[in-house]
Amino acid sequence: MKKYRIGQIVPSSNVTMETEIPAVFRSRETILPERFTFHSSRMRMKKVTKEELEAMDAMSLKCATELSDAHVDVMGYACLVAIMSMGRGYHCVSEVNLHQETIKNDFPTPIVTSAGALINGLKVLGAKKVAVITPYMRPLTDLVVDYIEHQGFEVVDSIALEIPDNLEVAAQDPMNLLEIYKRLDLTGVDVLVASACVQMPSLEAIDLIQKEVGIPVTSAAVCTTYEMMKKLGIEAKAPIGGELLSGKY
């Protein structure tokens, strides 16, 4: 039985990534022999503003060092908007910087950022036109849209729920997404991102939405889990919530 340690660099007010990512890995444990433990290091952040996100990002290197002390097998930076608000393509810079910290700490560790994972997940799904739901204020949502489009996708439509408090984001009922997504224009859309935020819960709703819309539905958390599986070298079919949760790896 192979055992893996999953490390997460988490905003101090994030309470979702330590539930949704383990939920997907635990579903895998029901049908396959691998086992997983989960370990976090936190960066201070309470309000989802550009200023707090920038200050938080500066703490990520210290977190990477702390997690490498625990000899985790993969490390995820669990804040999509913090990366995307730092400028186009910043996930590549962040992943290199975090990896360098683990090298300096004598335990080189594969790095996943939720921002980079979403971009890679959309590529795996063959997306060209996407629609996105975020909990962010509209200016931050516009930065996320611009970031995604700079990576080669067309964002046909987006919803900004405009919730500035990060704990309030986590308190959202994921089943509300079954009505929220209906406000999107899905004309020509290849993939729906039900939550472009790893703090806004969506896992329970993703498969239900996909059955209704008939196109792949994913989230930042699902893509992050999928990318972690790839970095660990274990089989994962596609960054789609229903398939990962049902064990269709």
Q: What is the amino acid identity at position 87?
A: G
> Is 223 considered catalytic here?
no
145 carries a ligand binding annotation: no
- Cα–Cα distances (Å) from 1 to 4, 54, 71, 225, 233, in that order, read 10, 41, 18, 20, 15
Tokens of 200: 């806004």
63 carries a ligand binding annotation: no
> Is 197 considered catalytic here?
yes
199 carries a ligand binding annotation: yes
Per DSSP, helices labelled H in the chain are: 17-29, 50-57, 60-69, 80-84, 90-104, 114-124, 138-150, 166-170, 177-180, 203-213, 220-232, 241-246
Q: What is the sign, positive or negative, of the torsion defined by CA atoms of 247, 148, 117, 180?
A: negative
191 carries a ligand binding annotation: no
CB 42 within 8 A of CB 63: yes
136 carries a ligand binding annotation: yes
Indicate which residue of 63, 79, 92, 223 is catalytic.
79
97 carries a ligand binding annotation: no
166 carries a ligand binding annotation: yes
79 carries a ligand binding annotation: yes
- What is the side-by-side strand order in the sheet with 217-219? 154-160, 129-134, 191-195, 217-219
**Active-site residue list:** 79, 197
Binding annotation: 14, 79-81, 136, 166, 198-199
Enumerate the known binding-site residues for substrate. Answer: 14, 79-81, 136, 166, 198-199
